[in-house]
Amino acid sequence: MSEHTPLGPWIRRFLLEHVVAERNLARNTQHSYRDAFALFIPFVAKMQKKSIDRLAVVDLSADLVRRFLADLESSRGCKIATRNQRLAAIRALAGFVGEHSPVHIEWCGQIRSIPFKKAGRAVVPYLEKAEMDALLAAPDRRTAQGRRDYALLLFLYNSGARATEAAQLKVRDLDIRAACVKITGKGGKQRLCPLWPATVATLEGVMGGRSAGEPVFVNRLAHPITRFGIHTVVERYTLQICAKFPALATKRVSPHSIRHSTATHLLRAGVDINTIRGWLGHVSLDTTNIYAEFDLEMKAKALAKCELPPDSKPKKRWRDQPDLMEFLRTL
């Protein structure tokens, strides 16, 4: 009976067979799914007053899913984006179970009918050119750590790489002679990105004599730097320049902000949107179009400054030009 089908084996199959073996989803996505169930399963067990190992598939009712999502926002203070991430994991599990167990198709439909909550589009956080230049100038390059930090910040700005992509970068991914880097992004997709001569020279200086399989960026213990370590580097130098640029206090500056800055500055430099899509490794052009829309807003503001002053004499309207009207009637 479907009412007694245990939940545990299905979650194991979903995470191991579907997420890893079949879909080969990124490690961050795997961790996101794992964390979602680590929160959801104890919540269901508490609501159903059962031990976790005695939960059945149908104990994950649509009503409990909705209550769990509401609890994420009210008790844990999660944003809508986090709520939707948790729901995506639960819906994916329901789809997997329904595909392999026909008796659970109705249950699957009930879970997958729970809609994602619509959230307003957040403003794209990016740094102005002067702010980015100040961030790059902040590390003390007289020290080994300062040189490493400068190389990291310069690479992030040059390539538009995500924090995870920079953390996983290996020496073999750099082609010094061709001045380019191979970046492995989400889902194992790879892209080539050109490097500035200054970036190449800086990276050569911090890599030392490392072998091809070693990481480009390491911490003070010579261990591979993590994406959390990269976040710390960006935040540390942002604090240093906040006194000079007070506007940064209102921005949530992160490695992804530098990625947005790269895209915005490329767009302002006249690089076409499809080239920027490939540069950043976006699957869909719709994602990259966010920057185009943002830039159009800036263009509209610039256009408004070019309007005629109030005391300017307006040109004669076409209706008030009889010679022109007479000419048109003769055609």
- Which sequence positions are flagged as catalytic? 162, 186, 256, 259, 282, 291
- What is the CA 42 to chain-centroid distance, rounded? 29
Q: From its phi and psi, is residue 277 left (phi > 0), alpha (psi between -120 and 50) or beta?
A: alpha
- Tell me how crowded residue 163 is: count the other CB atoms within 10 A of its CB: 23
**Measured distance CA(91)–CA(28) in Å, rounded:** 18
The side-by-side arrangement of strands in the sheet containing 180-184 is 174-175, 180-184, 190-194
**Measured distance CA(86)–CA(131) in Å, rounded:** 35
First to last CA, the chain: 84
Query: SS3 breakdown of the chain: % helix, strand, coil, rounded to 5?
Result: 65, 5, 30
Beta strands in the chain (DSSP E): 174-175, 180-184, 190-194
**Measured distance CA(60)–CA(67) in Å, rounded:** 11
Amino acid letter, 290: I
Q: What are the φ/ψ torsions at residue 326 (nearest 5 degrees)? A: -65, -40
**Measured distance CA(255)–CA(69) in Å, rounded:** 29
Decide: 2 and 104 in contact? Cβ < 8 Å.
yes
SS3 194: strand
Decide: 276 and 263 in contact? Cβ < 8 Å.
yes
Decide: 24 and 187 in contact? Cβ < 8 Å.
yes
